[in-house]
Amino acid sequence: MTATGLLAIFFVGLVGGTHCVGMCGGIVGALAAQDTGGRIAWPLHLGYNFGRIFSYVLAGALVGAIGGLSMAFGPVASVQLGFYIAANLMLVALGFYLMGFTRALAITERIGQHLWNRIRPLTTRFIPARSLAQALPLGMLWGWLPCGLVYSVLATAMVSGSAARGALAMLVFGLGTLPNLLLAGILFSRFRRFAQAPAARVLSGLLVLGFGVWGLVNASNFGGEIWHGLAGFG
């Protein structure tokens, strides 16, 4: 897996972080409410985000393994190309979704809602999170919140063709989302207003859309060099 492929995944997480602030804003606000004496409760914020990213890594390992298994039962090149095109179509849809032009990804979020309905009741025992022992499992559970951004990158993790590469892709993606959520925790109300501003959402959407379009244009050679290592081709 090349550094350029990982950089692409990290950048998608970074520019799509405005969506993360909206999805996780309530929990981040609850953690920020625990800050006392003008001091930021760093263990709570870091514990929550570490747990959230851990769940992303676990999901990436699962879909990566599924992708690898699928390739074992069909023409490898055809399966890889199909996964690759699907992943980039998800990025295109995500770009429009972030800009508010379509609710297409809301369908995938509704599918994930069935799993979330079973997980969400478990989060109540850790809210409000006043200690690291509560923030960490809260993040691990909240990482399964239905999210079009996460599902888009999971589609790319499936292209990797192995559990290890899928896990690594989601780890890098999770680290990309980290700056936005940490800023939201430090400057909650001000940063959340910025992240949800139309201009910020349009810019983020355009950048993610650009990645998807670039990938589709280069589908004939599996995305060129930027995705070469990510998908594990060659």
Would you list the domain boundaries of the chain? 3-34+41-218
> CA angle at residue 148 from 8 to 99, to 5 degrees?
80
How much is the average pLDDT of 93-114?
A: 74
Is the CB of residue 75 less than 8 Å from the CB of residue 118? no
Provide, for the chain, the percentages of residues in helix, strand and coil under a 3-state DSSP scheme, each rounded to the nearest 5: 80, 0, 20
% of residues, the chain, pLDDT over 90: 18
As given in the structure block, the two tokens for residue 134 are 């509560």
Nearest to 142 by CA among 159, 156, 125, 161: 125
Is the CB of residue 43 less than 8 Å from the CB of residue 132? yes
Could you tell me which residues are beta bridge partners of residue 36?
Answer: 39
Nearest to 85 by CA among 4, 151, 156: 156
Please give the mean pLDDT across all residues of the chain: 76
Nearest to 159 by CA among 69, 64, 59, 75: 64
How much is the average pLDDT of 179-208?
A: 68
Task: Please report, as a single letter, which amino acid is at residue 141.
Answer: L
How far apart CA 143 and CA 52 sit, in angstroms, is: 4
Q: Is the peptide bond before 128 cis (omega within 30 degrees of 0)?
A: yes
Backbone torsions φ then ψ of 39, nearest 5 degrees: -100, 140
Q: Is 226 helix (H, G, I), strand (E, B) or coil?
A: helix
pLDDT tens per residue, range 16-49: 766 666 666 566 656 655 555 556 677 888 898 9
| pTM of the entire predicted model | 0.77
Q: Is 39 helix (H, G, I), strand (E, B) or coil?
A: strand
Could you tell me which residues are beta bridge partners of residue 39?
Answer: 36
pLDDT tens per residue, range 120-144: 899 889 887 888 899 999 999 989 9
162 Ramachandran zone, left/alpha/beta (phi>0; psi -120 to 50):
beta
Nearest to 24 by CA among 64, 61, 62, 52: 52
Furthest-apart CA atoms within the chain: distance in Å = 61
How much is the pLDDT for 172?
94
Residues 218-232: b if buried by 16+ CB within 10 A, e if exposed: beeebbeebbbbbbb
Task: Please report, as a single letter, which amino acid is at residue 181.
Answer: L
